[in-house]
Amino acid sequence: MSDHPQQPRREFLQTTLLTGVAGLAAAQFPSLVDAAERPASSPLIKPGSTILFQGDSITDAGRSRPDAGTPNQKPGMGNGYAWMTAAALLTSPGGDTLTIYNRGISGNKVFQLAERWQAECLDLKPDVLSILIGVNDIWHRLNGKYDGTVETYEKDYRELLRRTKAELPDVRLVICEPFVLRCGAVNDSWFPLFDQFREAAHKLAGEFKTVFVPFQSMFDEAVKYAPPEHWAGDGVHPTAHGAALMASHWIRCVHSAT
Amino acid sequence: MSDHPQQPRREFLQTTLLTGVAGLAAAQFPSLVDAAERPASSPLIKPGSTILFQGDSITDAGRSRPDAGTPNQKPGMGNGYAWMTAAALLTSPGGDTLTIYNRGISGNKVFQLAERWQAECLDLKPDVLSILIGVNDIWHRLNGKYDGTVETYEKDYRELLRRTKAELPDVRLVICEPFVLRCGAVNDSWFPLFDQFREAAHKLAGEFKTVFVPFQSMFDEAVKYAPPEHWAGDGVHPTAHGAALMASHWIRCVHSAT
């Protein structure tokens, strides 16, 4: 029935790991559409790259602080889009050459990233640095805990990016668009102010020629297919489905970058 | 502070939708790395394509039967990799031209797909047909509910693919590798028999020159970064994290196909 030699599982897996999935397929079926070949790497993510995710609770997503120094492993990566993105990259062909960290901290605004930037970004010498920040800069203002404005956000963010490029001139930057869903804690009082925050992030992406991941535009499309609560119950923190969609689009955007 | 004209949210969104995210970025920041341009379409998935996911409970994933006829919408798509894949495609540039259905049914083996193939596959005239089938063909044999063998699986599956190509000669086929995680209901009694089932699926992918999505190889990599239970609690049915990883690799493989 099968023209495959009977291989023990271990040996079969070894073959797969040694030749890579694409290699296995190509070797056994030269005519097979060689669909598995798109690797984890891209013009932006090179083999061996160190990737750092920075941000607030959306990035943090329950990661273990004691495990923060162990890259790639679930405990230190949390449960959110950073982990889901990492998992997809690490399991793609060549992905095991990557070193991926998460240093998001719940509640952070831009100035709080700046306070811990030396130890929690620059010292890690990332080749690719992805930042998602902004929702607390407006949320904490709306609830009276913070007096920063959109001008504060833009100025602080620009200074953080300048400092990063000065210290790590070859770093590839990924700026993620702050986003909210219209449900839970997010009501009309957030608008139009919130749009100014995401426009500021977009503007900085242009100034620093970074990749820009348009999460708000993505979620604006996503609510055509499932209600806002499916993507983020409180309007701010993504569900697993929201995080999965973010991971998919992060990879789409970063892999498209030249 | 911002050189963007103040736009009401609705107008901003309209601009985004009309020009597309990439268009917006390009218009405002000609120097911006134009990262959002990778569209939902590819050589395999063309604009306007109808995509059908077929399979067993892993594909079904709790989809609503009364809503099965409404494509693209969450209720009819379930909670699994089929929905997560659909969501990622639908929210990518141009994705709103796609029509995506899920017709997986829990417990199905290949012969049960065949019994409902006219109404639940051929009549839908998919341009892209993705099939994930096999785990029940072995599971139900192991627990004494079914007497089919791996030869039955391969023969029935080949006949199903022949019939599909005869009726829909231009259909682009995607064969997904059956997989298990080593936890929950999956113990040593599954091996090496299980490997023969996935080798049969791989062989058919070669015979019919389909895209092959190597889910087992993917999960074999994934367990290096998180324990098997993180991906599928019972070893068979993926968690949201397992399903998200499947969606990511389905898209990677299908978008790589030429």
Looking at CA atoms only, how far is residue B17 from chain A in angstroms? Answer: 8
Q: Output the pLDDT for position A24.
A: 38
Instruction: Give the CA count within 13 Å in the CB-facing half-sphere of A177.
Output: 28
Dig out the tokens for B95 from the structure.
């994705």
Lowest mean pLDDT among A8-12, A95-99, B109-113, B184-188: A8-12
Across the interface, of B38, B74, B244, the residue whose CB is closest to A256 is: B38
* Residue A97 burial (10 A CB sphere; 0-12, 13-18, 19+): middle
Is the pLDDT assigned to residue A9 strictly greater than 70?
no
Based on the domain organization, do B181 and B102 belong to the same domain?
Answer: yes
Alpha-carbon torsion A180, A182, A184, A187, what sign? positive
| Structural domains in chain A (count) | 2
pLDDT range class, residue B257, cuts 50, 70, 90: confident
Contacts of B244 in chain A (CB under 8 A): 84, 87-88, 240, 243-244, 247-248
Tell whether ipTM is more than 0.90. Answer: no
Dig out the tokens for A235 from the structure.
């309007």
Based on the domain organization, do B197 and B137 belong to the same domain?
Answer: yes
Based on the domain organization, do B21 and B67 belong to the same domain?
Answer: no
CB-based contact A209 B13, cutoff 8 Å = no
Alpha-carbon torsion B221, B227, B231, B236, what sign? positive
pLDDT range class, residue B37, cuts 50, 70, 90: low
Based on the domain organization, do A81 and A169 belong to the same domain?
Answer: yes
Q: Output the pLDDT for position A176.
A: 98
Chain A interface test: which of B98, B230, B248 (most A C-beta within 10 Å): B248
Residue ranges of E strands in chain A: 50-55, 99-102, 128-132, 172-176, 211-213
Is residue A33 within 8 A of residue B174, CB to CB? The reply is no
What mean pLDDT comes out for the span A18-24?
37
How far is it, in rounded angstroms, from Cα B136 to Cα B108?
A: 7
Q: Output the pLDDT for position A42.
A: 83
Based on the domain organization, do B232 and B105 belong to the same domain?
Answer: yes
Sheet-wide strand order for B128-132: B99-102, B50-55, B128-132, B172-176, B211-213
Residue B175 Cα distances to B112, B133, B212, angstroms: 17, 9, 5
Dig out the tokens for B170 from the structure.
């231009």
Is residue B113 within 8 A of residue B136, CB to CB? The reply is no
- Encode pLDDT of A188-205 as tens digits: 999 999 999 999 999 999
Whether chain A has a CB inside 8 Å of the CB on B151: the answer is: yes
- Give the pTM: 0.87
- Encode pLDDT of A134-168 as tens digits: 999 999 999 999 999 999 999 999 999 999 999 99
Q: Output the pLDDT for position B56.
A: 98
Based on the domain organization, do A114 and A228 belong to the same domain?
Answer: yes
Whether chain B has a CB inside 8 Å of the CB on A14: the answer is: no
Based on the domain organization, do A244 and A151 belong to the same domain?
Answer: yes
Place of tokens 């590839």: A172
Based on the domain organization, do A118 and A27 belong to the same domain?
Answer: no
Is the pLDDT assigned to residue B40 strictly greater than 90?
no
- Encode pLDDT of B108-147 as tens digits: 999 999 999 999 999 999 999 999 999 999 999 999 999 9
Dig out the tokens for B30 from the structure.
């000609």
Is residue A122 within 8 A of residue A164, CB to CB? The reply is yes
Based on the domain organization, do B110 and B55 belong to the same domain?
Answer: yes
Based on the domain organization, do A149 and A120 belong to the same domain?
Answer: yes
Its domain, for residue B19, covers 1-37
CB-based contact B200 A257, cutoff 8 Å = no
Based on the domain organization, do A84 and A31 belong to the same domain?
Answer: no
CB-based contact A256 B226, cutoff 8 Å = no
Based on the domain organization, do B16 and B106 belong to the same domain?
Answer: no
pLDDT range class, residue B168, cuts 50, 70, 90: very high
CB-based contact B203 A96, cutoff 8 Å = no
* Phi/psi at B99 (5° precision): -125, 115
DSSP string for A173-209:
EEEEPP---SSTT--GGGTTHHHHHHHHHHHHHHHTT
Q: What rounded mean pLDDT belongs to chain B?
A: 88
Instruction: Give the CA count within 13 Å in the CB-facing half-sphere of A234.
Output: 7
Q: What CATH number has the domain bearing residue B62? A: 3.40.50.1110
Q: What percent of chain A has pLDDT over 90?
A: 82
Whether residue A192 has a cis bond before it, omega within 30° of 0: yes
Q: Output the pLDDT for position A190.
A: 96
pLDDT range class, residue A81, cuts 50, 70, 90: very high
- Encode pLDDT of A46-69 as tens digits: 999 999 999 999 999 999 999 999
Q: Output the pLDDT for position B5.
A: 37
Is the pLDDT assigned to residue A31 strictly greater than 90?
no
Q: What percent of chain A has pLDDT over 70?
A: 85
Across the interface, of B34, B226, B251, the residue whose CB is closest to A248 is: B251
Across the interface, of B192, B217, B244, the residue whose CB is closest to A21 is: B217
